[in-house]
Amino acid sequence: MRFIDEYRDGETARRYAEEIKRITTRTWTLMEICGGQTHSIIKSGIESLLPAEIQLLHGPGCPVCVTPLEIIDKAIAIASRSDVIFTSFGDMLRVPGSHKDLLSVKAEGGDVRMVYSPLDALTIAKNNPDKRVVFFAVGFETTAPANAMAVKEARKQSIVNFSILSSHVLVPPAIAAILSSSTNKVQGLLAAGHVCTVMGYEEYFPLAEQYKVPIVVTGFEPVDILQGIYMTVKQLEEGRYEVENQYSRSVRREGNPAARALLKEVFAVIDRKWRGIGEIPSSGFGLSELYTEFDAEQIFGVESIEVQEPAVCIAGDVLRGIRKPQECPAFGNECKPEHPLGAPMVSSEGACAAYYNYKRIRNTIATQ
């Protein structure tokens, strides 16, 4: 048992698809929130296994994709300084700001470094006391505790040259924003399994109740996703709207109490702008009053940077499940992974990149 291969078994996946087909009596529209699941769905061809009555919409669960343009511009302004070492997860480096991306800053001589973990950024700060080290703290509730730990350790170890540019986003407020919209088509939700390893799933009970949608906490492998879809469709067919946990091997109802306690200490819930969606109330984490001295926005005086999102790409509609990537006139023409107009084409978890990379491969195979 290695907890991966068993859930990638093609035969098991096919049998689940048969079961879904067997119980489906009408059309249903489901949304997977998480970009990691979007990637898995498109890559493994799950949509082609499903009956025509089941439509999957792809949600806003890709932190790279929803980071607003002005935060990218703030990152670029800070990273361009000669006294700064700017550290980030790799997937933020190619996201286009108003005029350039972080990789261009690096090409122009800026000290921009990719790290695997925020603790690596802390080590860089310790080893470079004459530089100011900034970590680009993006992510959902899955990543936020790791970023919080870096801040707490910086305080504990008196590492005064470390700070974070915080752009954390929270899943439940985004779900509420989608379900309460007048254009909402979503009838059932696959909740993001890894977010729930930290937060648990008690936050979803009021959402399921208020919007009368089944919510199934789901894992990431093809068999997990098909089982999650099966459980959601079964609820819809039976007229139920409950919270269920498909990913019980990793997710407990209460999540991870130690990680949650750390989030509560280091961060405070704030309003956040989402790229392509706009401001969602109480949908992000900023540093709590106890830890404001680690706030890079204040340290470098970039709070006032505000920019307008370009109207070129339809990322906002894609992220809310209103339109599919291929409905964008720029898709595959001016907008490709090597020249992205919007973040969903940059990140491997963005719906546009997933469609571009994997649907094209399948189309190529189909025409051979």
Partner 1 sequence: MCLAIPGKVLTIEKDAQPVMGNVSFAGIQRRVCLEWLPDINVGEYVLVHVGFALSKVDEKEAKETLDILQKMRDGLDDLKEDGDL
Binding site for partner 1 (CB under 8 A): 1-4, 6-7, 12, 15-16, 19, 34-36, 61-64, 89, 91, 116-120, 138-140, 142-143, 145-146, 149, 153, 156, 192, 194-195, 197-198, 223-224, 227, 246, 248-252, 256, 258-259, 262, 347, 349
Q: What's the min distance (Å) between Cβ of 334 and partner 1?
A: 25
Sign of CA dihedral 95, 61, 354, 351: negative
Residue number, 187 or 218, with CB nearest to partner 1: 218
Q: Which amino acid is at 88?
A: S
Asked if residue 246 lies in contact with residue 29, where contact means CB atoms within 8 angstroms, the answer is no
Q: Which amino acid is at 207?
A: L
Helix and strand totals (H; E) in the chain: 17, 11
Report in angstroms the alpha-carbon separations of 163 from 12, 87, 196, 272.
47, 10, 27, 20
Structure tokens given for 172 = 């439940």
Q: What's the min distance (Å) between Cβ of 116 and partner 1?
A: 6
**296 three-class SS:** helix
Asked if residue 20 lies in contact with residue 333, where contact means CB atoms within 8 angstroms, the answer is no
Residue number, 61 or 325, with CB nearest to partner 1: 61
Residue number, 240 or 249, with CB nearest to partner 1: 249
Nearest Cα residue to 97 out of 296, 301, 309 = 309
From the CB of residue 204, how many other CB atoms can be counted at a distance below 10 Å?
24
Q: What's the min distance (Å) between Cβ of 60 and partner 1?
A: 12
Q: What's the min distance (Å) between Cβ of 18 and partner 1?
A: 10
Residue number, 219 or 316, with CB nearest to partner 1: 219
Nearest Cα residue to 191 out of 157, 232, 134 = 232
Q: What's the min distance (Å) between Cβ of 191 and partner 1?
A: 12
Residue number, 63 or 321, with CB nearest to partner 1: 63
Residue number, 223 or 302, with CB nearest to partner 1: 223
**CA separation for the pair 85, 114 (Å, rounded):** 11
Q: What's the min distance (Å) between Cβ of 271 and partner 1?
A: 21
Structure tokens given for 44 = 């493994």
- Strands across the sheet containing 28-34: 54-61, 28-34, 188-192, 215-218, 243-245
Residue number, 62 or 296, with CB nearest to partner 1: 62
Q: What's the min distance (Å) between Cβ of 365 and partner 1?
A: 26
Asked if residue 274 lies in contact with residue 140, where contact means CB atoms within 8 angstroms, the answer is no
Strand 188-192, strand 28-34: pairing: parallel
Asked if residue 97 lies in contact with residue 129, where contact means CB atoms within 8 angstroms, the answer is no
Q: What's the min distance (Å) between Cβ of 242 and partner 1?
A: 17
Structure tokens given for 296 = 């890079």
Q: What's the min distance (Å) between Cβ of 366 and partner 1?
A: 29
Nearest Cα residue to 254 out of 308, 210, 295, 198 = 198
Residue number, 19 or 295, with CB nearest to partner 1: 19
Residue number, 99 or 116, with CB nearest to partner 1: 116
